[in-house]
Structure 1
Amino acid sequence: MATSVKLDENLKGRIQHLAEVRHRSSHWIMREAIREYVEREEKRESFKQDALRAWESYQENGQHLTLEEADAWLEKLEAGDDVELPKCHD
């Protein structure tokens, strides 16, 4: 699919310079930049939707973990322990 994008001269020059020093084409640089942006934004949107679902669930049933419980669990994971997520409670 061919798509055109209008760039100001400054940005176009920066892309061309980066392409030269990386031994890539300007087209490759732009494709990579767009791919990385889209992946990052998809992850951000997924995180936002997960948070909204968790909030809705909490409002419905009151089940939760305290900050201290979550922190303790994360500390164990960081230490390399294979621990399960604590059970939520009222």
Structure 2
Amino acid sequence: MATSVKLDSALQDRVQHLATTQRRSAHWIMREAIRQYVEREEARESFKQEALASWAEFQATGQHLTGKEVRHWVRGWGTAAETELPPVRE
């Protein structure tokens, strides 16, 4: 898929300068920037969807753990104090 992107001259100059200093092509710099942006936004959307699903489950069941319970449980990971997940509350 061939796509063109129009950049203003100031941004073009910045991309070209970066490409020169990193000994890469301007095309590589732009592809890498787009790849990183897409990965970051996909992760953000995944996190958002997971949070919405968790909220919907809480609203439906009322089951939850307090922040203090979760912090205590996580602090124990990899130590002699490691325990199973605490029982959820209603």
Instruction: State the TM-score, normalizing by the size of structure 1.
Output: 0.89
- Classify the secondary structure of the residue corresponding to 1:6: coil
How many residues align? The count is: 88
Alpha-carbon RMSD across the aligned residues, in angstroms, is: 1.4
Q: 1:67 to 1:19 in 2, by over 3 A?
A: same
| Mapping 1:58-69, distance limit 5 Å | 58-69=58-69
Structure 1 residue 35 and structure 2 residue 35: aligned?
Answer: yes
More helix by share: 1
List per-residue Cα deviations over 1:1-55 (Å, max 9, x = no partner). Answer: 1100010111110000000010000000000000000000000000000000000
The gaps in structure 2 that reach 5 residues or longer are: none
Instruction: State the TM-score, normalizing by the size of structure 2.
Output: 0.89
Distance 1:83 1:15 in 2: 51
Structure 1 residue 71 and structure 2 residue 45: aligned?
Answer: no
Identity, % of aligned positions: 59
Structure 1 residue 87 and structure 2 residue 87: aligned?
Answer: yes
Distance 1:24 1:30 in 2: 10
Structure 1 residue 48 and structure 2 residue 48: aligned?
Answer: yes
- Classify the secondary structure of the residue corresponding to 2:11: helix
Q: CA deviation at 1:73?
A: 2.1
Structure 1 runs of 4+ aligned residues shifted over 6 Å read: none
Q: CA deviation at 1:88?
A: 2.1
